Copies of this chain bind each other. A is one copy, B any other.
Amino acid sequence: MDAAQEAQNREAFRHAVVNTLERRLFYIPSFKIYRGVAGLYDYGPPGCAVKSNVLAFWRQHFVLEENMLEVDCPCVTPEVVLKASGHVDKFTDLMVKDEKTGTCYRADHLLKDYCNDKLEKDPNLSAEKAAELRHVLAVLDDLSAEELGAKIKGYGITAPDTKNSLSDPYPFNLMFQTSIGPSGLSPGYMRPETAQGIFVNFKDLYYYNGNKLPFAAAQIGQAFRNETLGYVLLYDMHGLCEISPRQGLLRVREFTLAEIEHFVDPDDKSHPKFSEVATLEFLMFPREDQVSGRAARRIPIGEAVSEGIVNNETLGYFIGRVYLFLTQLGIDKDRLRFRQHLANEMAHYAADCWDAEIECSYGWIECVGIADRSAYDLRAHTDKSGVPLVAHEKFPEPREVEKLVITPVKKELGLAFKGSQKMVIEALEKEAMELKATLEAKGEAEFHVCTLDKVVTIKNNMVSISKEKKKEHQRVFTPSVIEPSFGIGRIIYCLYEHSFYTRASRDGDEQLNVFGFPPLVAPIKCTVFPLVQNQQYEEVAKSIARSLTAVGITYKIDITGTSIGKRYARTDELGVPLAITVDSTSSVTIRERDSKQQIRVNVDEVASVVKEFTDGVSTWGDVLWRYPTHSS
């Protein structure tokens, strides 16, 4: 099968999945009667139930299992917090504007489309030109506003809709801006992630945990990104819009994040429960393998840590736990890989970073990021707020330590850095340890000043750094944070693709859709059908419904006169694991979705059988062994 054919198959598969998802109201384009808003979707009843099941399992698997401190912070966030985190200044896309109509486009998208288009469709492209375009695509993410602008001008790229000329690229902040209170004087944003709410509470949470490390805090909540969407709304015959298949359900403007911030001593990133995951083996894609063009390969996570592929045990532990979480939800382990960030993808402060990527019809999609962000976030908020977000380790005995003392030579520094002098000194004091060695060895050293966001060169004559001996009673340090961050909507979408299959109807005249959800995530655990419309059967169905509610099982009754085959097809399309057909007043038929096997169960045992199967206490095999099978 060639690439074009494969792409077409993927599109057809996606179309079938998305069509089913929409028709059965897993998703509804938000505000559809008003023609919708690009990038906003509702979860309709079954979608909402799936989401709620995924979040309940997340709480069970992470929060409860690890005794995490769950918090719930507001979405509205004052500017100062997002200034400290860097989002106000750096959370931007470079945009260009149609100079006549004012329509905005992402500069990198236009350039990318141009390059791909040329490479695919221009038969006269020289080998040299093709190589150039391929290089542009490779370095696209690293281009500055000026470089992007020069390329766009150079290639003569115009607005795709109007062919008008385009403005120079300018940064557009991706946060939804608003104003807090009636004065109009307090700018705020809708949070772009939930993590900052945890960082600013570090001090209280550390205290709550008895001033002990490590501990993890967690938060589930909405996050907002005012993305530019290359979006198509299709209108049906009633003028109502349909979801466009162009990454529609993956790239949205409001989404649910579930984030964990695990705070740990930077000098000890071991994890007491690492041995529980060490033998797990799954697809990993280390940086080295990506760079040298090798494929992802199965590595036991214990080995990945011991060989230094994964930076530390705690990061490795979470990678293992994420693997268990995703596969237990129903993600296919062969279409799940952990990809390490390349050097240019990773923030300068990060120690290591892995994405759980799931393969779907759009390709490999980042669904969970697992990063060791070192002490960056807590330091940034310490600096900005003036409240030290630090941990203490009391020594049993006071310790004698050598301390570095920095004495800046103000005159020299003033000459070299002028107005920035103060910030350079403050930054110097923080990073003195590593610096001293370099200064002594080379006579000068480069280092990064956060508050200036640039690298400066310090010469030996600008500071004196000396050693002093001191007694210390405790160690005060900024903890490192290891952050697993889950895009719940993306995980759910991939789960839909991995769970979807079709099979021939009984007559073989049509293909029927099935979502093969594990009971854990199935939106409804069973349906109840009276075989024929008759009062006796309906009474039995209602009494079964009551007994299901009593044990907390969700169900749907279908009392339409439709054929039982059609009702099975409907229920399979919603991914309901069990269908109960009331065909007598004393016992019923229970049918399992994937095997289509049927058993006979007494009416008063129905709720408990359904419960043990959907709770995962018994498999279908276990149940099948205990009850007589039924052949229809």
Instruction: Give A contacts to B, CB under 8 Å.
Output: 25, 28, 30-34, 37-38, 40-45, 47-49, 51-52, 59-60, 64-65, 67, 69-78, 80-81, 93, 95, 102-104, 172, 176-183, 185-186, 188, 190, 197, 200-201, 203-205, 208, 210, 217, 222, 224, 226, 228-229, 240, 253-254, 381, 384-385, 387, 389, 549, 552, 554-556, 560
Partner of A190, one of B60, B190, B389: B190
Excluding A45-B71, A48-B70, 12 further A-B contacts by CB distance (< 8 Å) are A25-B208, A34-B81, A38-B181, A41-B74, A45-B208, A47-B72, A65-B549, A67-B556, A75-B75, A178-B178, A210-B560, A240-B387
**A93 and chain B: residue at smallest CB distance:** B182
Q: Is the CB of B60 within 8 A of A552?
A: yes
Known: A172-B182, A181-B226. Is A43-B72 also a contact (CB below 8 A)?
Answer: yes
Q: Is the CB of B183 within 8 A of A102?
A: yes
Q: Which residues of B contact A556 (CB under 8 A)?
A: 67
Complex Cα spacing A208 to B23, Å: 9
Q: Is the CB of B44 within 8 A of A385?
A: no
Q: Which residues of B contact A103 (CB under 8 A)?
A: 183
Q: Is the CB of A201 within 8 A of B32?
A: yes
* Least Cβ–Cβ distance between A23 and chain B, in angstroms: 10
Q: Which residues of B contact A80 (CB under 8 A)?
A: 31, 34
Q: Which residues of B contact A190 (CB under 8 A)?
A: 75-76, 178, 190
12 pairs from A and B in contact (CB 8 Å cutoff)? A33-B200, A33-B389, A37-B76, A37-B186, A37-B188, A42-B72, A44-B205, A48-B70, A64-B549, A64-B552, A102-B183, A240-B387
Q: Which residues of B contact A52 (CB under 8 A)?
A: 59, 70
Known: A104-B183, A182-B172. Is A48-B71 also a contact (CB below 8 A)?
Answer: yes
Q: Which residues of B contact A72 (CB under 8 A)?
A: 42-43, 47-48, 51
10 residue pairs, one from A and one from B, having the closest CB atoms? A43-B72, A33-B385, A33-B387, A45-B69, A104-B182, A74-B254, A42-B73, A176-B178, A48-B72, A40-B74
Q: Which residues of B contact A93 (CB under 8 A)?
A: 182
**A252 and chain B: residue at smallest CB distance:** B74
Complex Cα spacing A186 to B104, Å: 13
Q: Which residues of B contact A30 (CB under 8 A)?
A: 73-74, 197
In the complex this chain forms, how many copies of it are found? 2
* Least Cβ–Cβ distance between A562 and chain B, in angstroms: 10
Q: Which residues of B contact A240 (CB under 8 A)?
A: 387
Complex Cα spacing A140 to B197, Å: 39
Q: Is the CB of B76 within 8 A of A253?
A: yes
Complex Cα spacing A182 to B41, Å: 19
Q: Is the CB of B33 within 8 A of A77?
A: no
**A174 and chain B: residue at smallest CB distance:** B182
Best-buried of A65, A75, A381 by chain B (most CB within 10 Å): A75
* Least Cβ–Cβ distance between A245 and chain B, in angstroms: 20
Complex Cα spacing A253 to B178, Å: 13
* Least Cβ–Cβ distance between A561 and chain B, in angstroms: 12
Q: Is the CB of B228 within 8 A of A181?
A: yes
Q: Which residues of B contact A226 (CB under 8 A)?
A: 179-182
Best-buried of A47, A48, A67, A549 by chain B (most CB within 10 Å): A48
* Least Cβ–Cβ distance between A389 and chain B, in angstroms: 8
**A207 and chain B: residue at smallest CB distance:** B25
Q: Is the CB of B71 within 8 A of A254?
A: no
Q: Is the CB of A28 within 8 A of B64?
A: no
Q: Is the CB of A31 within 8 A of B208?
A: no
Q: Is the CB of A75 within 8 A of B31?
A: no
Q: Which residues of B contact A64 (CB under 8 A)?
A: 549, 552, 554
Complex Cα spacing A554 to B64, Å: 7
**A253 and chain B: residue at smallest CB distance:** B76
* Least Cβ–Cβ distance between A617 and chain B, in angstroms: 12
Partner of A44, one of B183, B201, B552: B201
Q: Which residues of B contact A31 (CB under 8 A)?
A: 77-78, 80-81, 200
Q: Which residues of B contact A205 (CB under 8 A)?
A: 25, 44-45
Q: Is the CB of B70 within 8 A of A42?
A: no
Q: Is the CB of A180 within 8 A of B37?
A: yes
Complex Cα spacing A412 to B44, Å: 49
Q: Is the CB of B179 within 8 A of A253?
A: no
* Least Cβ–Cβ distance between A491 and chain B, in angstroms: 15
* Least Cβ–Cβ distance between A529 and chain B, in angstroms: 13
Partner of A70, one of B45, B77, B224: B45
**A256 and chain B: residue at smallest CB distance:** B72
* Least Cβ–Cβ distance between A67 and chain B, in angstroms: 8
Q: Which residues of B contact A183 (CB under 8 A)?
A: 102-104
**A41 and chain B: residue at smallest CB distance:** B74
**A523 and chain B: residue at smallest CB distance:** B70
Q: Is the CB of A34 within 8 A of B78?
A: yes
Q: Which residues of B contact A71 (CB under 8 A)?
A: 28, 42-45, 48
Complex Cα spacing A47 to B69, Å: 11
Partner of A28, one of B28, B204, B224: B204
Complex Cα spacing A51 to B72, Å: 9
